[in-house]
Amino acid sequence: MKSSGENETFSIGALAERFGLAAHVLRHWETMGLLTPVRDAAGRRRYRAADLTRVAVVLRAKETGLSLDTIHSLAATADPGVRRDILRQEAETLRSRIAAAQASLELIECALDCDHEDFTQCAHFRQMVAERIGADAPVHIPV
């Protein structure tokens, strides 16, 4: 690290280590336009304080489940309306994933709580399968 107060810069290795990332991750983010490090006289990447903030933002956004493409789209626009539209779509996608996960959890908990030795024989399980197949289709679950 080169230290001179506000002008402090970080090498790719130092920045990667600071966030527990591989250097190739930072290079990839640069190719996607998520990072724009300056170059020193030898052409080496030098990351500034703003880049540290950007890495922290990207990592936090990834933790929320956003893709790098979505993060790039959010960062690439200055239009708050566009950002809100992107986030609304992401929220709807997340709600759908949560609903699917909740349904999966309910099915698993039902199977765990079932009095039948084989939960595939449970009327509730069979009803869920029938709903998935369609109301008129016969339910045949191999034993």
pLDDT tens for residues 55-112? 999 999 999 999 999 999 999 999 999 999 999 999 999 999 999 999 889 888 888 8
State in words which class domain 1-65 has.
mainly alpha
Every domain of the chain and the residues it spans: 1-65
Q: Which residue has the higher pLDDT, 55 or 5?
A: 55
State the helix-helix crossing angle for 12-19 and 49-63, rounded to 10 degrees.
40
Confidence of residue 26 (pLDDT cuts 50, 70, 90): very high
Neighbours of 37 (CB within 10 A): 21
CB 11 within 8 A of CB 46: yes
Confidence of residue 32 (pLDDT cuts 50, 70, 90): very high
pTM, two decimals, is: 0.70
Q: Which residue has the higher pLDDT, 25 or 121?
A: 25
CB 52 within 8 A of CB 46: no
